[in-house]
Chains A and B, each alone.
Chain A
Amino acid sequence: MTDADKPARPAQKKNLFAQLEIDTRLLGMIGAFVILCLGFHFITDGRFLTSRNIFNLTIQTVSVAIMATGMVFVIVTRNIDLSVGSLLATCSAVMAMTQTFITPEVFGLGLNHPATAPIAIVVGIATGVLIGAFQGYIVGYLGVPAFIVTLGGLLVWRNVAWYLTNGQTIGPLDRNFMQFGGINGTLGETWSWVIGLIAVLFAFYSFWRNRRSKISHDFPVKPIWAEIVMAAITAVAIMGFVAVLNNYDVPRRRLQQMFEARGEVMPDGFTQGYGLPISVLLLIAVAVVMTIVARRTRLGRYIFATGGNPDAAALSGINTRLLTVKIFAIMGGLCGLAALVASARLSFHSNDIGTLDELRVIAAAVIGGTALAGGVGTIYGAILGALIMQSLQSGMAMVGVDAPFQNIVVGAVLVIAVLIDTIYRKRTGAK
């Protein structure tokens, strides 16, 4: 092949962000988030950006954020799922009953058996997948609009949960199960550093791999300084996050109890930070997997193609009906995971668990840049959206804003965020 056959990719890039290949939309969202946090920090005289509050913010966000990643796929394909809060309740009820009744009494494993938590989790997620697939089947194969199917689901699954438990609160839950609830299960300082380091190395590796792959196809690559800047930013962000979580110390009394339980005496001046909560680790894992699915798998490509032009997708041989079933099944499975986190955080299953979560989840996805018209959305955007919503809510509570007024603000922010996004897209000519 001669050089003339090999069209070169135009290399003229303009501004700094383009050189770093950072999505300006993401940058805008991060900017808004930072301003929000700094604002609350000053209003509350420095109580907002403390290790303790950041720790609490992250664990409060996990359940909604996990579901928001699935909602991205649902909305990208021009569907909606109004049933996620209720589905969470059903999954939570099933998991609670499995670990407090079925494994201890029916299987005779007793309480806090090591097999209990895994069994309960698998059963809960399977429940979510099955119900999600069922709703997806009605949407995809029977042609009932998703809005209607999941509006029905909103009522059905909330009350299925009620019937399963006779409306009773179920608890306390299995000890290992509760590790997924946030503060009840954290990695401690050392392991948090190790995980952070692994994450940094993995990020470096994927930067390097991507660069090598581009070079091998003769595509222009970022200047090496830009790669280094990006790598440095990534490393600082990851390690900084770990440092903050490690900086939140476990209270002395709790540490003493832990030592006593092991029959040891706590050394003087001993301190230990909480570190990464397992629930946050779970969210990060979900985010990574969902991002890979969205960007690097056929399934993800088909989801976005179908969202952009359903007819074109079908004419390209994509089975869009089956795709709908898969998307709702994924959404259901994520509701199961979110139910794990939410009920473990409460340490019991209650009737009203997940109430109004459908609205929070949809709002998180939409604030995160998922377009209801379909075809556009990112996983990290949805997670950031969930984080912004949670910060707003927590910050206002900290400032002492009245509860009704908090909701007024959250509602207004949702609309304004989408308005700004609409204007931004028009300006940049993006869809």
Chain B
Amino acid sequence: MDRESDPVAALVATVAERSISYDGLSVSKSDGLYTFETTERQVTDLTASALGETAAGDPFVDNWFHWTQRSRSTAEQAFLRWVEHAEERSVPERDAALTSGGVVREWGQLRITATVVDGDRRYELRHSDDRDADPAELERFVDPRKAREIATTDDKGRYRPLKTAPSLSTGWLFPELTGASLVEAIDFFYPATIQNWSLEREGELDVTNWAAAADRQSGIYAMVDELSGEQLEWLTEACCVDSQCLKRREWDAADGEEIDTPRGAGAFPCREPCSVVISAARKWTQIEREDTERYTFELTPSEKDQLEALVAAVADGRIDEIREAEFSDPANRQRARYLRAKRFDAEGSLSTESERPS
């Protein structure tokens, strides 16, 4: 057995060069003899071969091997350890959980269950809303690239331009991913979230605030730097809160100029305004260039309530829930049609008299 595949061979070869101290395991060499110590036991004065016998089958050694002798990026390593609470839980605690039912973590709308099967870590991935679903009822996938297709449309078949919108479709299952393929699948569901989360943990997240991001834009988006102050409150309220996007907004208006809109409670950060926000900002910039006018029109109190309810229904994405003939709902379609027939002209405009405020 070689040190690539055998934990004991790897341990003996490593400790011949330097001491080991990892997750409650310490192995060191002094005067040609080895000391093997875990939170469970201590064995001293071991020859190299006796060290091998002592280490064989020890869960601390397997843990050390799994986490230190395989090639992973910093982000992948940090994430996979986070998944099984490696920083907070001891090796025996983790082993017990991983071999009986598994350890569960949620990442956006993803639910990850880590287990150990025959000594190898395996990860199950499904939608968090499918937590209680019978696996036999879910469509099964093996190739992590399939995540790209799953992430493309929501449960109603509508295209999802923003990957971290809370509209991930349900009904699928990756029953057995390796660590590397789990990270790959998550990168297709939520691109770059693991890397940015890891950078944030290291204190190295490179946040670009609105001012710098807007300043960088060119072409048709160059105009977005006109938005500021309250407009940025409204913009983030429109796009970035948890009901719209699961990233936690870390960018602000500028250095020292915070945007008060709640940042969100997501696990992973948003480091700069995304392309959807920049594109929306272009529209709002155009609209904000207009001056206000004063309009005069008449509405009954119920009709005013109804207009407010219509805006709320669209803004909250509630349109599809409003039932046919549900006339108690002010955003009901027939009620909207009645209002239009009564108060709007043939062009669909609210009949008004308008004047510019003097």
Whether both chains belong to one complex is answered with no
A residues at B contact (CB < 8 Å): none
B residues at A contact (CB < 8 Å): none
